[in-house]
């Protein structure tokens, strides 16, 4: 009786490991928890379905615990229940809260659309772009594409130049000033190598964060959008799937893509992100033109100057 | 829990959490499920995936509301008005499930014709005695007989005692009119009782728009019946009221009328607050219960001897007829060979209670110097207890206090860190309490079980040894007991017998001499005496002393040596029935769904193919199905007691009466005894309310437990000095009293400070913006916190007046990374009459912009 859209609640392999005491780690644990086998050479990512998010922030905590990340500066913000503010060098999952309780001024709704509505919650993360700006910008090779298709920073190689920081159209990468290196989500590279699904996806209680092979996730996500549309949630759309918002400007595709229920900017996501490299030709041309123009101007000025009477000596 | 006990027989959630996925309509009310039970909420979303309607009824728009299809806002404390409206809607429009309710509830039973209702007596039921401030339950009985239904009514101290009533129980079938014509049958009583609860009145009292209320009623009734089922989820948003038990009763009536109990996807899911709160009432930490819901002997009742106790508790009809088996096996487990006829089975060694010894009166007894010492284990009452100043006064008046915690809590540090000391008003030298802070182990550092919200007992292994001097609570209790036994081993006094004769023989293991938690669980399960073979089920228990059992309802959790069923992890596969009988152990007897006989019609056939669960197998003459049947396995659906033979126990229960813990086997829509404050729920305002009761002249629950004293003052109804309604609550990110979550950086940063949620309309009036400091005051005290102005809170129009409501989470204190004022400084000590649970979900306050002077922050 499980919905076709989601992996079965109890995968078949769950019956293989019923002993409480195990002599070793369960091989390919992700088969039990996410229903998939992780193999190098394939491309993995997240489908974050905000329509199922309850804003519990388990993903934020699981990420910090697994990756041993410290807490941020602690304090109340004016952003609803979001007090970690944004993705940063030490916050790799971040849940955004957007209150839209009023339908119209003075009117709060009681009949709501199915699944999430009126208080939007979205767990943001590094998008692991197919064409990644950070990767293009990195001069040292510290950023690299892993055997799972993800983008990871190697802090032992990173020289802290921070070129990757403005190169990310999503504002994901950040330099941690305690070590001077770039940091961001690794899609739990260490876990993937051990056959575990990433910590955030494993901890998500409502399947809002789904981990898997990107192509499988894309098919599932497309069906999900169709289903939501059929249920009257006509505002549901994908952000970052090929050909959708978020996959613009040369990025091609976000391996960690989203199902959103309002415009991207509402979630603090760029409407039409672009790779900086896409602007290289243009800026190179502009730069060259500027140099040529300035050169010409200088030449003109110099010629004129040599012809002009010298004011100081006029008298 | 007494309400579910009185209505259905057992004080526990009727369904497993995962059954919600099979529900066609899930109503969450009195609970912020997505925030406080996020893992269970996945099953709500699974139901939604399959097309169910999700409804959230709540004073605040929360993370739960965001995922709902209908959000019905109600003013805090107006729940019974809303639920009563639903009952009226169901009855007036004839939407109840006829075959189910007629046969499985006491809807057709005729009540004493001297019974009078609140509708006639303006807020009182018949039997009210203003002198003793209590009800005489005589007029609430079935016509022509005493009808004691449930053991828990033992605690009704009013009127005729349960034990006396038991002697008058008649030996015939209860008086029933299946045509429902009799004016005194429960059906007609309910119709008259709820006639005033019209949709218009619901809107006037609760503030919920009429069309929203009707949308809820329509969704629920459309999704109930043969083919469809609906479920209710509630939590402490219902229990923390002076009418808490009656609120839950109202939901019980709705579910029984609609045929939503004991059926797949149907039920009432009591979402319990902590990971093993169900276990703590089963085993229990309650002052008035012995393990397995056996009433604690009472000094002022006829409990003097074991014989009297057994006679006074053994109901002639129903499963509780087995009471002597449970009681005797318990004493055998406790006192071993010292339990025999000569010692009255050790019964005299059990201390007798004298009244209400629950937390609220205990707090005052400490403040008054009656209680001189306290062991505080896993609780932080300075933050979590009501009227925090009075709690601090009480703790500061003790001679000694032992706090076992993972971190130093406010309850251990109030003597040098509370605002009164910081402000210089009080000096630590004036607090005489000697405080011992003992470091405790966290769950991963000890073996043991959790009993979750649906009675599922699950074992967890120790992962690491606790650091330094940290020890488990089991270690502490065991070694304390061992030292007490050594202390009293050689004394000549008979009064020391209870300790001397106590069985205390758990094997010790590991570097710190931890007692074996498995051995404790084996004792809880029970064994034969004296050869110590593990029992496989409560059916094996005997009343001749040949069995020992620590908690009779847990029998079967450890059915043989080396087989710890709580540690079993065998789920059903994707094609299995989905009851997961191999996963852990659910009491009683590993049943996942209680009262599941009701999943079949009176003849034993499933109500529908879609809702098939447990049914009568004609060929084998047995009950069978996906779950363990909650009924005698071979009792045919057509069985009728032969009243001429004076049938006892289960023999007096019909083949079509699924509620076997109740003496007539029927779900009690009308509770003849067991509820102190009325047989049918009626709306009363909270003790502190911004409005007057629009239904009756009687403002509050007449039996609400009040302790009016200078250090616990109350506000008058509609007091202009305290014009706002206020509710307190929890957040996903923190645990109750904030231990240990406020100490964990990655949790603390998620909700870093206390705050007050304020609707924008009120904020505009008071010129308050988000993050401004505000002061919230009640007669008990004032606190300051930052404002969170949000449309999630809304003004209510109550009887034409605008009523504002604010809210405050109560986790915060002065310790840890996440700090804030203690919201419970504001609350008063007021209790539900049946359970003495505090009223923290609805009271009144004042609010202003600004801060408190340092000296005033107490």
At residue B276 the predicted structure's pLDDT band, cuts being 50, 70 and 90, is confident
Determine, for residues A70 and B792 on separate chains, whether the beta-carbon distance falls below 8 Å: no
At residue A314 the predicted structure's pLDDT band, cuts being 50, 70 and 90, is very low
* Euclidean distance between CA atoms B479 and B483, whole angstroms: 6
Residues B72-116: tens digit of each pLDDT: 999 999 999 999 999 999 999 999 999 999 999 999 999 999 999
Residue A235 has pLDDT above 50, yes or no: yes
Is residue A119 within 8 Å of residue A99, measured between CB atoms? yes
The residue written with tokens 């000697």 in the block is: B434
| Mean pLDDT (whole number) for A125-136 | 97
Determine, for residues B771 and A76 on separate chains, whether the beta-carbon distance falls below 8 Å: yes
Percentage of chain B with pLDDT > 90? Answer: 87
Query: Which residues in chain B have Cβ-Cβ distances shorter than 8 Å to A71?
Result: 745-746, 748-749, 817
Around B57, how many Cα atoms within 13 Å sit in the side-chain half-sphere?
A: 34
Q: Would you put residue B446 in left (φ > 0), alpha (ψ -120 to 50) or beta?
A: beta
How near does any CA of chain B get to the CA of A56, in Å? 6
At residue A307 the predicted structure's pLDDT band, cuts being 50, 70 and 90, is low
Chain B residue with Cα closest to A4: B49
Query: Which residues in chain A have Cβ-Cβ distances shorter than 8 Å to B578?
Result: 1
The values of phi and psi at residue B683, to 5°, are -80, 125
**Cis peptide bond N-terminal to B588, omega within 30:** yes
Query: Which residues in chain B have Cβ-Cβ distances shorter than 8 Å to A14?
Result: 571, 573
How near does any CA of chain B get to the CA of A15, in Å? 6
List Cα–Cα distances, A179 to A69, A84, A174, B128, B129, in angstroms: 13, 21, 12, 74, 75
Q: Collapsing DSSP states into helix, strand and coil, what is residue B742?
A: helix
Determine, for residues B792 and A99 on separate chains, whether the beta-carbon distance falls below 8 Å: yes
Residues B714-764: tens digit of each pLDDT: 999 999 999 999 999 999 999 999 999 999 999 999 999 999 999 999 999
DSSP H or E run through B586: strand B585-586
Q: What angle do CA B400, B406, B411 make, to 5 degrees?
A: 40
Residues A248-265: tens digit of each pLDDT: 999 999 999 999 999 999
Is residue B261 within 8 Å of residue B667, measured between CB atoms? yes
Query: Which residues in chain B have Cβ-Cβ distances shorter than 8 Å to A74?
Result: 745, 748-749, 752-753, 817-818
Determine, for residues A69 and B732 on separate chains, whether the beta-carbon distance falls below 8 Å: no
Determine, for residues A76 and B573 on separate chains, whether the beta-carbon distance falls below 8 Å: no
The helix/strand count (H/E) of chain B reads as 26, 31
pLDDT of residue B159: 46
Chain B residue with Cα closest to A16: B570
pLDDT of residue B572: 87
Determine, for residues B732 and A205 on separate chains, whether the beta-carbon distance falls below 8 Å: no
When CB atoms are compared, the residue of A56, A76, A109 closest to B38 is: A56
Full set of structural domains in chain B with CATH: 2-273 (3.40.228.10), 278-353+511-565 (no CATH), 705-856 (2.40.40.20)
List Cα–Cα distances, B576 to B229, B588, B608, B629, in angstroms: 21, 22, 19, 17
| Mean pLDDT (whole number) for A190-198 | 96
List Cα–Cα distances, A282 to A164, A248, A278, A292, B269, in angstroms: 20, 17, 8, 15, 63
Q: Which long-range contacts (CB under 8 A, 24 or more apart) does A270-275 make?
A: A270/A169, A270/A170, A270/A246, A271/A245, A272/A245, A272/A248, A273/A169, A273/A170, A273/A246, A273/A248, A273/A249, A274/A169, A274/A248, A274/A249, A274/A250, A275/A131, A275/A133, A275/A136, A275/A167, A275/A169, A275/A249, A275/A250, A275/A251
List Cα–Cα distances, A104 to A44, B116, B215, B461, B769, in angstroms: 41, 49, 21, 53, 21
| Mean pLDDT (whole number) for B470-485 | 97
Question: Does the CB of A207 have a partner CB in chain B at under 8 Å?
Answer: yes
> DSSP state, B674?
S
Cβ neighbours of residue B633 closer than 8 Å, sequence gap 6 or more: B622, B623
Is residue B5 within 8 Å of residue B656, measured between CB atoms? no
When CB atoms are compared, the residue of B461, B751, B770 closest to A83 is: B751
* Euclidean distance between CA atoms A152 and A166, whole angstroms: 17
Cβ neighbours of residue B232 closer than 8 Å, sequence gap 6 or more: B26, B27, B28, B29, B251, B254, B255, B260, B267, B268, B269
* Euclidean distance between CA atoms B106 and B88, whole angstroms: 17
Determine, for residues B745 and A117 on separate chains, whether the beta-carbon distance falls below 8 Å: no
Residues B151-196: tens digit of each pLDDT: 444 444 444 566 666 666 666 788 999 999 999 999 999 999 999 9
DSSP H or E run through B474: helix B473-488
Is residue B556 within 8 Å of residue B541, measured between CB atoms? no
Question: Does the CB of B61 have a partner CB in chain A at under 8 Å?
Answer: yes
What residue segments make up the domains of chain A, in order of their start? 29-274, 278-313
* Tokens of residue B194, six digits: 């709820």
Is residue A268 within 8 Å of residue A233, measured between CB atoms? no
Nearest Cα to B810, choosing from B819, B828, B822? Answer: B822
| Mean pLDDT (whole number) for B634-652 | 94
- DSSP string covering B561-572: TTB-GGG-B---
pLDDT of residue B156: 43
* Tokens of residue A93, six digits: 């999952």
DSSP-derived pairing of the beta strands B434-439 and B400-405: parallel
Interface of B with A in 733-752 (CB under 8 A): 733, 745-752
List Cα–Cα distances, B496 to A130, B373, B485, B500, B504, in angstroms: 76, 20, 9, 6, 15
When CB atoms are compared, the residue of B73, B732, B792 closest to A56 is: B732
* Euclidean distance between CA atoms B107 and B87, whole angstroms: 13
* Euclidean distance between CA atoms B677 and B157, whole angstroms: 12
* Mean of all residue pLDDT scores within chain A: 91
Question: Does the CB of B570 have a partner CB in chain A at under 8 Å?
Answer: yes
Question: Does the CB of A68 have a partner CB in chain B at under 8 Å?
Answer: no
* Euclidean distance between CA atoms B269 and B455, whole angstroms: 11
* Mean of all residue pLDDT scores within chain B: 94
How near does any CA of chain B get to the CA of A191, in Å? 20
Give the start-end residues of each E strand in B381-433: 400-405
Interface of A with B in 71-100 (CB under 8 A): 71-72, 74-76, 78, 80-81, 83-84, 99
* Euclidean distance between CA atoms B261 and B267, whole angstroms: 5
Residues A208-232: tens digit of each pLDDT: 999 999 999 999 999 999 999 999 9
Determine, for residues A14 and B573 on separate chains, whether the beta-carbon distance falls below 8 Å: yes
Determine, for residues A111 and B212 on separate chains, whether the beta-carbon distance falls below 8 Å: yes
Determine, for residues A18 and B568 on separate chains, whether the beta-carbon distance falls below 8 Å: yes
pLDDT of residue B152: 44
Is residue B538 within 8 Å of residue B589, measured between CB atoms? yes
| Mean pLDDT (whole number) for B350-368 | 92
ipTM over 0.90: yes
Please write down the HEC assignment for all residues of A268-281: CCCCCCCCHHHHHH
* Euclidean distance between CA atoms A238 and A244, whole angstroms: 7
> Among A5, A205, A210, which would you mutate to test the B interface (most chain B Cβ atoms within 10 Å of its Cβ)?
A205
Look at chain B and count its residues: 858
Residues B278-337: tens digit of each pLDDT: 999 999 888 889 999 999 998 888 889 999 999 988 888 899 999 999 999 999 999 999
**Cis peptide bond N-terminal to A82, omega within 30:** no
* Euclidean distance between CA atoms B70 and B28, whole angstroms: 10
Nearest Cα to B812, choosing from B736, B757, B732? Answer: B736
Interface of B with A in 62-101 (CB under 8 A): 63-73
Nearest Cα to B151, choosing from B288, B356, B245, B355? Answer: B288
Domain covering A29-274, topology: Alpha-Beta Plaits (3.30.70)
């Amino acid at each position: 009786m499980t919905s076709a859209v989601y992996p079965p609640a109890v995968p078949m392999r769950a019956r293989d490991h019923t002993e409480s005491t195990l002599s070793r780690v369960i091989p390919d644990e992700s088969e039990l928890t996410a229903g998939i086998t992780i193999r190098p050479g394939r491309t993995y990512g997240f489908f974050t379905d905000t329509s199922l998010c309850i804003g519990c922030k388990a993903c934020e905590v699981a990420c910090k615990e697994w990756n041993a990340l410290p807490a941020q500066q602690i304090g109340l913000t004016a952003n609803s229940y979001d007090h970690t503010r944004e993705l940063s060098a030490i916050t790799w999952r971040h849940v955004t809260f957007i209150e839209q309780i009023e339908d119209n001024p003075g009117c709060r709704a009681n009949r709501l659309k199915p699944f999430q509505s009126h208080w939007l919650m979205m767990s943001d993360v590094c998008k692991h772009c197919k064409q990644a700006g950070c990767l293009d910008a990195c001069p040292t090779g510290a950023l690299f594409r892993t055997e799972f298709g993800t983008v990871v920073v190697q802090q032992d190689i990173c020289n802290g130049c921070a070129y990757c920081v403005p190169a990310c159209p999503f504002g994901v990468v950040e330099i941690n000033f305690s070590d001077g290196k770039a940091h961001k989500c690794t899609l739990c590279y260490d876990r993937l190598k051990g056959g575990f699904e990433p910590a955030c996806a494993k901890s998500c209680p409502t399947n809002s964060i789904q981990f898997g092979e990107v192509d499988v996730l894309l098919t599932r996500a497309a069906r999900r959008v169709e289903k939501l549309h059929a249920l009257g949630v006509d505002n549901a759309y994908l952000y970052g799937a090929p050909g959708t918002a978020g996959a613009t400007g040369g990025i091609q595709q976000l391996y960690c893509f989203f199902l959103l229920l309002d415009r991207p900017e509402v979630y603090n996501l760029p409407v039409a992100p672009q790779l900086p490299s896409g602007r290289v030709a243009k800026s190179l041309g502009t730069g060259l033109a500027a140099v040529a123009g300035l050169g010409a101007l200088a030449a003109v000025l110099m010629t004129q100057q040599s012809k002009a009477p010298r004011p100081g000596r006029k008298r | 829990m007494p309400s579910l006990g009185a209505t259905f027989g057992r004080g526990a959630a009727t369904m497993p959490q995962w059954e919600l996925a099979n529900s066609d309509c899930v109503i969450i009310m009195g609970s912020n499920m997505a925030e406080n039970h996020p893992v269970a909420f996945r099953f709500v979303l699974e139901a939604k995936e399959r097309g169910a309607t999700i409804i959230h009824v709540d004073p605040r728009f929360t993370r739960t509301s965001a995922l709902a299809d209908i959000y019905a806002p109600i003013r805090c404390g107006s729940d019974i008005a809303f639920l009563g409206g639903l009952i009226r809607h169901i009855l007036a429009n004839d939407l109840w499930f006829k075959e189910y309710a007629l046969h499985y509830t006491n809807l057709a039973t005729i009540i004493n014709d001297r019974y009078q209702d609140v509708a006639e007596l303006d807020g009182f039921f018949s039997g009210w005695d203003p002198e003793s401030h209590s009800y005489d339950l005589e007029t609430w009985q079935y016509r022509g007989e005493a009808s004691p239904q449930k053991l828990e009514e033992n605690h009704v101290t009013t009127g005729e005692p349960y034990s006396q009533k038991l002697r008058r129980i008649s030996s015939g079938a209860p008086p029933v009119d299946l045509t429902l014509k009799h004016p005194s049958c429960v059906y007609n009583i309910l119709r008259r009782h709820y006639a005033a609860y019209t949709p218009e009145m619901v809107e006037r009292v609760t503030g919920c728009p009429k069309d929203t209320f009707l949308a809820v009623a329509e969704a629920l009734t459309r999704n109930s019946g043969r083919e469809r089922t609906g479920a209710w989820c509630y939590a402490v948003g219902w229990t923390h009221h002076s009418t808490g038990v009656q609120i839950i009763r109202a939901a019980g009536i709705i579910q029984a009328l609609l045929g939503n109990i004991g059926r797949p996807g149907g039920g009432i899911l009591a979402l319990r607050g902590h990971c093993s709160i169900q276990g703590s009432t089963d085993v229990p930490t309650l002052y008035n219960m012995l393990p397995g819901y056996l009433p604690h002997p009472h000094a002022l009742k006829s409990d003097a001897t074991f014989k009297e106790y057994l006679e006074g508790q053994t109901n002639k009809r129903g499963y509780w007829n087995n009471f002597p088996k449970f009681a005797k096996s318990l004493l055998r487990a406790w006192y071993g060979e010292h339990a025999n006829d000569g010692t009255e089975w050790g019964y005299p060694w059990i201390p007798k209670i004298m009244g209400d010894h629950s937390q609220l009166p205990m707090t005052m007894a400490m403040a008054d110097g009656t209680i001189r010492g306290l062991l505080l284990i896993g609780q932080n009452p300075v933050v979590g207890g009501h009227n925090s100043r009075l709690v601090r006064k009480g703790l500061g008046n003790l001679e000694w206090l032992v706090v076992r915690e993972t971190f130093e809590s406010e309850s251990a540090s109030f003597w040098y860190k509370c605002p009164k000391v910081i402000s210089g008003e009080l000096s630590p030298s004036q607090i005489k309490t000697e405080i011992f802070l003992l470091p405790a182990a966290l769950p991963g550092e000890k073996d043991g079980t959790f009993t979750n919200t649906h009675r599922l007992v699950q074992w967890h292994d120790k992962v690491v040894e606790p650091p330094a001097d940290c020890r488990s609570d089991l270690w502490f209790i065991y070694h304390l007991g061992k030292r007490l036994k050594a202390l009293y081993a050689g004394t000549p006094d008979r009064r020391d017998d209870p300790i001397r004769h106590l069985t205390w023989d758990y094997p010790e293991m590991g570097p710190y001499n931890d007692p074996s938690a498995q051995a404790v669980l084996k004792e809880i399960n029970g064994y034969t005496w004296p050869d110590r073979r593990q029992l496989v089920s409560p059916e094996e228990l005997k009343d001749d002393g040949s069995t020992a059992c620590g908690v009779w309802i847990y029998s079967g959790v450890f059915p043989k040596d080396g087989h710890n069923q709580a540690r079993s992890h065998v789920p059903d596969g994707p094609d299995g029935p989905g009851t997961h009988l191999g996963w852990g152990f659910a009491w009683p007897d590993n049943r996942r769904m209680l009262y599941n006989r009701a999943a079949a019609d009176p003849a034993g056939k499933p109500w529908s193919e879609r809702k098939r669960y447990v049914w009568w197998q004609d060929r084998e003459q047995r009950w069978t199905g996906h779950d363990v049947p909650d009924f005698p396995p071979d009792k045919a659906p057509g069985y009728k007691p032969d009243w001429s033979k004076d049938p006892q126990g289960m023999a007096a229960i019909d083949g079509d009466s699924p509620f076997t813990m109740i003496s007539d086997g029927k779900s009690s829509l009308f509770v003849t005894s067991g509820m102190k404050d009325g047989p049918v729920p009626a709306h009363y305002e909270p003790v502190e309310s911004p409005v007057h009761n629009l239904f009756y002249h009687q403002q509050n629950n007449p039996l609400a437990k009040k302790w009016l004293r200078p250090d616990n003052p109350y506000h008058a109804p509609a007091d202009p000095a305290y014009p706002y309604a206020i509710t307190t609550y929890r957040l996903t990110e923190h645990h109750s009293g904030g231990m240990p979550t406020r100490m964990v950086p990655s949790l603390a940063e998620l909700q870093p400070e206390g705050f007050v949620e304020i609707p924008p309309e009120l904020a505009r009036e008071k010129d308050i913006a988000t993050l401004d400091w505000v002061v919230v005051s009640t007669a008990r005290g004032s606190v300051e916190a930052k404002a969170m102005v949000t449309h999630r809170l809304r003004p209510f129009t109550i009887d034409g007046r605008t009523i504002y409501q604010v809210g405050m989470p109560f986790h915060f204190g002065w310790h840890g990374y996440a700090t804030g004022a203690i919201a419970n400084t504001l609350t008063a000590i007021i209790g539900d009459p049946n359970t003495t649970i505090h009223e923290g979900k609805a009271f009144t306050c004042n609010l202003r912009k600004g801060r408190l002077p340092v000296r005033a922050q107490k």
